[in-house]
Chains A and B, each alone.
Chain A
Amino acid sequence: MADTQRPLSPHLQVYRWQVQMMSSILHRATGIALAVGSLLVIWGLLALAGGEASFNQFKICTGSPLGLVLLFGWSWALFYHLCNGIRHLVQDAGAGYAIPQFVRSSWLSVAGSIVLTLLVWAYVLTAGGAA
């Protein structure tokens, strides 16, 4: 880091709210949440490798009310990071930089993540409940 005392960007307080701000910060927030969620993946794999007792314990924990709330949150975080990640890959390829497109794709990421989350949990409910 440069050894300087000058003010550094971003100067968030001078901007009016825009959807791109939310889609950007949500990408980071969901990324951090998913990094924590990777612990659940490790736990699941270790539980399955550990035998029937540890796997059943894992299923009881993930099927508990707290487990389901966390899973719901993580599923939305995954789908948001997925949708917005694809959006970023498209932008990295140089496309979609006009302001109306940029705003529209921000909303598309949010809407897409909500639709995918609801679809998955609708499937979970129809496939015999979330227990």
Chain B
Amino acid sequence: MTAKDLRNPLKTALGLGSSQSGVGHWWTQRVTAAALVLLGVWFVATVLCLLHADYATAHAAVAKPWNALLLIAFVLTMFWHAVLGLQVVIEDYVHTRWKEVVLLVAIKFLAVLGALASVLAVLRIALTP
């Protein structure tokens, strides 16, 4: 017998049951977190190496294939993780339904724009001689 069989059918009928998708959010947050431990340390080290770099040095450093690749991986993971985290904060503290929905959509729009802008920038740096 599974645990699901023990649930009162009324709970599902009232629409208060599990949406069956909560684990996806939780797990993705952890996987992106684990990735960001590595990518974040790499990012800080890279920035520190470029501390007083002039334009040409910084441009050449970001244009290196490995650096460009890891930078793109870093910004994509960062924005993904940020959206997942901000989503939980908004769901916890914004109790007016329409404001909650507007904010949830707004952070996704902003994160996608930010991620695309960052990727375009890195590509332009990497592909411009």
Same complex origin of A and B:
yes
- Measured CB to CB, the residues of A under 8 A from B are 1-2, 28, 31-32, 34-35, 38-39, 41-42, 45-46, 48-49, 51-52, 55-56, 75, 78, 82, 85-86, 88-89, 92, 120, 123-124, 127-128, 131
Give chain B's interface residue range (CB within 8 Å of chain A): 20 to 34
- Min Cβ gap A58→B in Å is 10
The reply to whether A52 and B89 contact each other, CB–CB distance below 8 Å, is no
- Min Cβ gap B4→A in Å is 20
**Given A31-B89, A89-B34 in contact, is the A127-B58 Cβ separation under 8 Å?**
no
The reply to whether A48 and B82 contact each other, CB–CB distance below 8 Å, is no
How many angstroms from the CA of A46 to the CA of B75 in the assembled complex?
13
- Min Cβ gap B101→A in Å is 12
The reply to whether B86 and A32 contact each other, CB–CB distance below 8 Å, is yes
A127 contact set on B, CB distance < 8 A: 48, 51-52
Select B48's contact among A31, A49, A85, A124, beta carbons within 8 Å: A124
Per DSSP, chain A at the interface is helix
Q: Hey, what's the 0/1 contact readout for B18-49 against A, CB within 8 Å counting as 1? A: 00000000000010011011001100100010
B117 contact set on A, CB distance < 8 A: 42, 45-46
**Given A41-B75, A42-B114, A120-B44 in contact, is the A48-B30 Cβ separation under 8 Å?**
no
Contacting residues of chain B (85-102) with chain A, CB-CB under 8 angstroms: 85-86, 89, 95, 97
